[in-house]
Structure 1
Amino acid sequence: VAGRNPFKLLGECEIALDTFLPKNAHESSTSVLRVLLTKVALRPPFLMGEVVSRFSTWSEIFCCLRASCHIPLFGGFLPYPVPEHGWYYDGLLWNSLFVPWRTFGTRDSVIKVSAFGHPGADIAPRRFVLPPWFAVFPPSQEALEGMRAMGYADAKDFFEGTQRRWGG
């Protein structure tokens, strides 16, 4: 377990993905899951946002999800390699504030979730803004349980409001 050592987080992430990611995840997630990544290139633009939504193999979805966790410095200085795609950091370096997320059909919807209160998020902390260092230095178990309860309440508030607006 990583404990309070942020340099062990990615190893724990790999163990969790290997343990919990279903063997058919590449089939069930293609065109349903979109993974936001920051692609690193040797020529300008050096950093650019990329969304991966098609996965040919279990290894490919594993690598994309693992790359989405690759925080510079804590994951090393080099980006994480995703075979057939390139080298990546997590999606944090991509300025998603200006991304016009869109849907592809009238019945589609996009719900933006932010643990740190991103201004454009549909579900985000409303009562308490989390310190950014919680991303790499996790708080106590008691604080995590409180954050889970607050996240549940924020999601519940969002979906109850959605039902009132859309009559669902």
Structure 2
Amino acid sequence: MESSVISTHQQLCLSELLERSRRKEEEMSSFQDRVLDLEMNTRVALDHLESIPEKQCLMDNFKDLEESQRQREMLEQRYTKYKEIVWDLQHQLDESKRRIQEYRDEKLDATSRSLRLAALSSSIKGPSTFLSSSLRSDTLSPHKRLTSSDLEDSLFNGAKPLAD
């Protein structure tokens, strides 16, 4: 039960990280499109400036160009910030995947040790004791977990605890 809760929690965290990453990528794409639009508008404005001889109009266009440049710089800063956020989210996702794999490896190692102890116990005690028969049934059903009450029952029936 505990392992499924942890796995579900980790899956939810991974899902949330992936969703946040997807949204950030969409925002970055939108910002890139806006930057391209600003560059195109700047080119159009420059072309227009060359065709207009009036100085006042020329000054107005330069002001527009300066404003476009400020917006572009601001968008580039945001883009850089979002790239860092996406990198951080990817790092968190990779770290979560690594932790999940470590947990699975530890669980597999614990199950393996439990099975070896069960085999050792049954070979030491023989098939007539309660502990070895209960451990043998656990060996046949690997999904059953040993609990502290199983240990207490085996100790009550005369089995000695094994040192690791």
TM range (shorter): under 0.3
Q: TM-score, length-normalised on structure 1? A: 0.22
Point out which structure has higher relative CO (alpha carbons under 8 A, 6+ apart): 2
Structure ranking higher in helix proportion: 2
Q: Which has the higher strand share?
A: 1
